[in-house]
Amino acid sequence: MTATPMLRFGLALAASVALAACTAAQRVEDLATGGPHLTPVENPVERQDYHPIRMPVPTPQVVEQNANSLWQSGSRAFFRDQRAANVGDILTVLIEIDDEARLNNSTERERSNAETAGAPALMGFETEWLEEILPDEYSAEDLVDLASTSQSRGEGEIRRNEEIELQLAAVVTDVLPNGNMAIFGRQEVLVNYERRDLVVAGVIRPEDITSQNTISYQQIAEARISYGGRGQLTDVQQPRYGQQLYDIVFPF
């Protein structure tokens, strides 16, 4: 192993140990304070992991004012629209994921070869020379006898069934020049020392927002949906940090 791979391995090992130590310290703190605890509510734009969304948009169009008319160009209703339209507005994201996949693969291969050759007459060597160096069971008629057999068989099966049904309130964090809106929403639920986290982010069109101020997750472009948790149940369902590190670095 050269110096560069060794250095990378050392850095990865040090980072894994540091992460394990930090997580372990957090778990010990949660145990002492009756956690895990919910994170404080904060402005998502000011978060360290927040990244503004920049996407290609068409040239903005100038809104034309119609004289002697109460209707404004670009309006979606005669009266005031209660749906989210500006930075800071709130809308509800409907998440209904029901995916099921099943894959079956089967491969079977078999091959058999046999070769037999004899030398009843080989310029007299079959009786004078070969009989002297070969055992008594030697037979010139069965001088060569080869056989080979190979067989391989493989089967694979994947079954996946996911079903998630959630609702989450998201905040409009940015309005793009073409009218599309960037949204971000986060929800934390703490039940019996188990914290469940739900995060949604992406870009939506105002036309896709329903009259109830809701939008389906399927209509979110560049959608990022994360649903997980932290707590005692999650710790039991995951391998320990040493086992995870061993699975990553062990080559066999």
Q: Is the pLDDT of residue 144 over 50?
A: yes
How much of the chain, in percent, has pLDDT values that exceed 70? 64
Q: Tell me the C-alpha to C-alpha distance, in Å, between residue 67 and each of 61, 70, 193.
A: 19, 9, 62
Backbone angles phi, psi at 131, to 5 degrees: -70, -20
Q: Is the pLDDT of residue 122 over 70?
A: no
Every domain of the chain and the residues it spans: 103-157
Residue from 51, 61, 75, 73 nearest 178 by CA: 61
Q: What's the angle, vertex CA 179, arms to CA 55 and CA 188, rounded to 5?
A: 75
Q: Which pLDDT score, from 0 to 100, does residue 79 have?
A: 64
Global pTM value: 0.56
Summarised one tens digit per residue, pLDDT across range 188-223 is 888 887 888 899 999 999 999 998 999 999 999 999
For the CA atoms of 8, 25, 236, 97, the dihedral, rounded to the nearest 10 degrees, stands at -70
